[in-house]
A and B are shown apart, each in its own frame.
Chain A
Amino acid sequence: MPSRERLQALRYNLIPDHLIGEILTKRWTDNAIPFLVLVAVIALFGTAIPGFFNPFSLQESTRQLGEFAIVVIGLTVVMLGGGIDLSVGSIFALATFASVGSFFILGLPVWVAFLAALATGALFGAINGYLVGFLRLRAFLTTLVTFIIGRAVFDILVVQFGAAIQMSFASSDAWDFIGDGTLAGLSVPVIAAGLLALVTHVTLTRARIGWHILAVGGSRRSAHNAGIKVRRTVFLTYVFSGLCSGAAGFLIACRLSGAGPGTGAGLEILALTAAVVGGNALGGGRGSVVKGLMGAVIVLVMTNGLIRLGYGTGTNQMVLGIMLAVAVTIDIRWLKNRHKVLNEVYVAPVYLKMGETQSAEPQSGTPFALNSRLAAAESIGLGALEGPEDVILDADDHLYCGTRHGEIVRFFAPDYTRSEVFAHVGGFPLGLAFDRDGNLISCVGAMGLYKIAPDRTVTRLSAETRRSLTSVQDDARLRDPNDLDIAPDGRIYFTDSTKRYDAHDWTLDSIENRGTGRLLVYDPRDGSTKTLLDGYRYTNGVCMAHDGKSLYFAESWACRIHRYWLEGPKAGTAECVIKDMPGYTDNINRASDGTYWMAWLGMRTPSFDLSLRHPAMRKRMTRRLPQDDWLFPNINTGGIVKFDDSGRILQTFGDLTGENHPMVTSMREHKGELFIGGILNNRIGRYRIEGADPEWTGMRAYWGTRA
């Protein structure tokens, strides 16, 4: 191997490029930047300010943090719903006045003062919500105006009643405790903020109303079309924000026992900066309570820190302005370009040198030499079918296949001209098998393993396996279940072709050529699914050996057949039976003479084999060329191969005319005939096999005469 190639092999097979793309698909990567900023801000001010981490100073600063965080949580919920609330500062100030007024002027108990604050917040929030939600005014400008109105009202009230509040002698232990006391070292605002954050988080992520809010924020139009009451949902977010600001206003009322012209001044830009710096998206749908909390800590530590470090008037506004502008710009740019970045980095091809293969050219004299025998096959369902990946026949000779539309179609014996939709599963039904009781089991692409009973009820058997420990991407989900077979004890062995791509993106998987295919087993006795083997290049067809002690499975992009032992001395291990075939291997099924049929979905080409040795070129190709110009496995010619238990090739069938069966993904022998399916074909072929047992059926071979 030349050294250039050896370097490529090392570079592309050892450095896990694919992890970058997988990490970027994670939603939590959104939190990375705010979190780093948070750590940096705390480290910076913690070292610059003497006594920053001193418990008492921490307790006092967290008191303010608690109040601020409550306001930010309210604003976060409004932003998640696609709105914005600039009036939080006014609501906060008015609620403070409501509590202080009730307590000091009217001499009412503390709980009434609390309710007064909440009622003020709810009322103000309801006005905002009505204007923005029901009248559909622009949130930013409308809440800006209600902010000024609230501020004007507050200023008038403070001027009128400020003196009366200062002269009052009302006092209460509960009031002082809320303002000064601690519970297990935590101040009341911090506890309140923590509880609120928890409840809000659970509501947003687990409850119906939370999902509605996120749906409205994510896409107002789709939410409306899906029947969500958009206006009411938006209305409720503002009421919630009002309640939060009201509660925060009550807390500061207890802490400061008064309300002055400065109460809540500048809070709106602080809270807005906090929510955005934490990573909540403008326009809604993306964000979380945790992001809001991170933003609250960043902003508060920063602004308080600057004051404690003695920077003059205006420094805070300058820093806030910069933070807001930078955070908003990053947010907008990232949202817009995230999928582009992902597309650029997700495909991470590896190096592979395919083994030399024997020729499949006609008259080449090798066992693989293709011919046009399948051109003689009769067509079933011509033009009425799309994508019969696998075909199977039941005990009454009826023929079943899956279609691209997520249906299982049944053709009636004996002439297979009449058909019906046997069951609708959804997804793309691929591999098929009958179990002992006549249930049809199917691997449904993009969905999982499904059972269709004779009475047509569809049951999901499995959609996930155990997650592997080192996975970045959630590989518990069955992404591309492909084919299955059933052992004599009823256990279902099936393949999941790739962990990295959805079923329709199989071309990308072939170009990347990374081994992520799995062999799994589903146990009907306890409903469990286990991963048996992992790391194959697109696992595909599965077939029980005639004696039921081992199974064969295909590894498509490597052009190999493996044998996995279920019992005996090699139980639980796999060995390669046939390697370096000239075609890409697909489904495997039993033949009547004790051998096996196997489909080639396409044939290897020297050009694609060469490209597998040039991973950098393939990466450039997926980045720079449109999909139509990509080089990927040739699927215009396929065929059928017959092999025996020793892996010897017995016969080859092809259709070089390209008319009936250019690509073959499955074939089933039944009473002396071969039924042929192809995932991109529009028909099922019916081909008479010379010298085959005219009585042999798959059902009998698997389950005996009873079935």
Chain B
Amino acid sequence: MGFLGSLNQERIVFAIAVAIFVIAALTLPGFFTADNLVAIVRSVSVLGILALGMAVIVIGRGIDLSMVAVMAMSVAWYLQMLGNGMSDGAALGLALAGVVVIGFANGFLVAYAEVPAIFVTLASASFVYGLVRSQLIGSDAVPVPPGHWVAELGALRLADVPVEVFVFAGLALAAFVFLRFTKWGRYVYYAGDNPAAARNVGMPVRPMLVLRYVLSSLVAFAAGILTAGSLQSMNTRVVNSTQLYDIVLVTVIGGIGLAGGKGGVRNVLIGAALIGIMLNAMTILDIPLLYQNLIKSAILLAAIIFDGVLNPRDEQTAQQGDI
């Protein structure tokens, strides 16, 4: 075994991230500067926050394709209500209630109707986007009202570091403590590893599923607030972009198996580091966005193939209808 035996996806990805970092630092002008390093961390912090929410879901053997839609549409609706002159408390309450309802509906259909998560969340993403875009907001982009706390949040710096970096760090710590040290966090792993066994042992598998989807929706809302703060508006076209796949990429590439029960916050951090360094290097190299998309998706495909080779499925044990 030796060296090869100790290789796993997480270590490989970490090694690649370090290698790219070293190469970029040596060859790219302006890469290894304090400003650029902060920019790297900042660029992946919103992605990383979303990936943390996704990671908890994936570890519990699920997936949430509605995160970007919930993120963009809930915040756009919130800002629209503010723009229409509603009081902040009422608008925030309504937006949060909407987010919880969507998360609950996702979780309910997955847990109790036993519909595959991937379909539920694909459908709810389409529904959330369509409902908010056609009924609740007037245009694709909704600006943050001037002087609102969201705008101030976006401009907030602590020791020259933007606030979303601290939020990312805080959430990562919280997720780490939750997954590693709390009873409910451990249950997520058991339910992801073998839902039937977890249920037989007496864990509340179904209510926990619902709870996870509600949590991921709330995380998406938080990420949306941070995005709106830094851009001073919320552009709902992001729903049709590849951001969703970036989230999956950050989650999966660090070594969280899609079959569930594996991985942790460390994997998300490593995935986020790799993506952040890569995107930054590609931007410095002036690679067009279209090619960046191609490269990212090719890497995601490689990650999935790798995941499939490391955790193979076979005809005798594969679940029927497990697509």
C-alpha spacing A284/B304, complex, angstroms? 23
Contacts of B315 in A (CB 8 A): 220-221, 224-225, 230
The answer to whether B313 touches A136 (Cβ under 8 A) is yes
Which of A51-59, A164-172, A316-324, A434-442 has 4 or more CB atoms under 8 Å from chain B? Answer: A316-324
C-alpha spacing A702/B134, complex, angstroms? 86
C-alpha spacing A83/B118, complex, angstroms? 13
Contacts of A138 in B (CB 8 A): 258, 304, 308, 322-323
The count of A-to-B residue pairs whose CB atoms sit within 8 angstroms is: 157
Closest to A221 in B: B315
- Contact of A313 with B133 at beta-carbon distance under 8 Å, contacts A220-B320, A318-B126 already known: yes
Which of A148-156, A185-193, A236-244, A458-466 has 4 or more CB atoms under 8 Å from chain B? Answer: A148-156
- Contact of A313 with B134 at beta-carbon distance under 8 Å, contacts A221-B315, A221-B318 already known: yes
Interface residues of A: mostly helix, strand, loop or mixed?
helix
The answer to whether B134 touches A156 (Cβ under 8 A) is no
The answer to whether A137 touches B134 (Cβ under 8 A) is no
**Interface check B28, CB cutoff 8 A:** no
The answer to whether A321 touches B126 (Cβ under 8 A) is yes
Contacts of A131 in B (CB 8 A): 301, 305
Closest to A269 in B: B126
**Interface check A581, CB cutoff 8 A:** no
**Interface check B221, CB cutoff 8 A:** no
Contacts of B322 in A (CB 8 A): 138, 283
Indicate which residue in A84, A140, A148, A311 contacts B134 across the interface (CB closer than 8 Å). Answer: A311
Indicate which residue in B125, B242, B309, B314 contacts A321 across the interface (CB closer than 8 Å). Answer: B125
Question: Which residues of chain B from 106 to 155 have any CB-CB distance to chain A below 8 Å in the complex?
Answer: 109, 113-116, 118-120, 122-135
Closest to A320 in B: B126
C-alpha spacing A82/B293, complex, angstroms? 30
C-alpha spacing A322/B124, complex, angstroms? 8
Shortest beta-carbon distance from A314 to chain B in Å: 3
Closest to A225 in B: B315
Interface residues of B: mostly helix, strand, loop or mixed?
helix
**Interface check B321, CB cutoff 8 A:** yes
The answer to whether A159 touches B290 (Cβ under 8 A) is yes
The answer to whether B126 touches A317 (Cβ under 8 A) is yes
The answer to whether A325 touches B124 (Cβ under 8 A) is yes
**Interface check A329, CB cutoff 8 A:** yes
B contact residues, total (Cβ < 8 Å): 49
**Interface check A207, CB cutoff 8 A:** no
Contacts of A141 in B (CB 8 A): 63, 118, 248, 258, 304
**Interface check B298, CB cutoff 8 A:** yes
Indicate which residue in B116, B131, B304 contacts A145 across the interface (CB closer than 8 Å). Answer: B304
- Contact of A137 with B321 at beta-carbon distance under 8 Å, contacts A149-B294, A318-B130 already known: no
**Interface check A573, CB cutoff 8 A:** no
Contacts of A314 in B (CB 8 A): 129-135
The answer to whether A82 touches B321 (Cβ under 8 A) is yes
Contacts of A315 in B (CB 8 A): 130, 134
The answer to whether A325 touches B245 (Cβ under 8 A) is no
The answer to whether A333 touches B134 (Cβ under 8 A) is no
The answer to whether B320 touches A283 (Cβ under 8 A) is yes
Shortest beta-carbon distance from B58 to chain A in Å: 11
Shortest beta-carbon distance from A149 to chain B in Å: 5
Contacts of B297 in A (CB 8 A): 145, 148-149, 152
The answer to whether A320 touches B323 (Cβ under 8 A) is no
C-alpha spacing A318/B298, complex, angstroms? 31
**Interface check A163, CB cutoff 8 A:** no
**Interface check A423, CB cutoff 8 A:** no
The answer to whether B308 touches A324 (Cβ under 8 A) is no
Q: Which residues of B are interface residues toward A (Cβ below 8 A)?
A: 63, 109, 113-116, 118-120, 122-135, 242, 245, 248, 258, 290-291, 293-294, 297-298, 300-301, 304-305, 308-309, 312-316, 318, 320-323
Q: List 7 A-B contacts (CB under 8 A).
A: A141-B248, A151-B293, A156-B290, A220-B320, A282-B119, A314-B132, A318-B134
List 8 additional contacts besides A317-B134, A336-B114; criterion CB under 8 Å. A84-B323, A141-B248, A230-B315, A311-B134, A314-B135, A317-B130, A318-B133, A321-B131
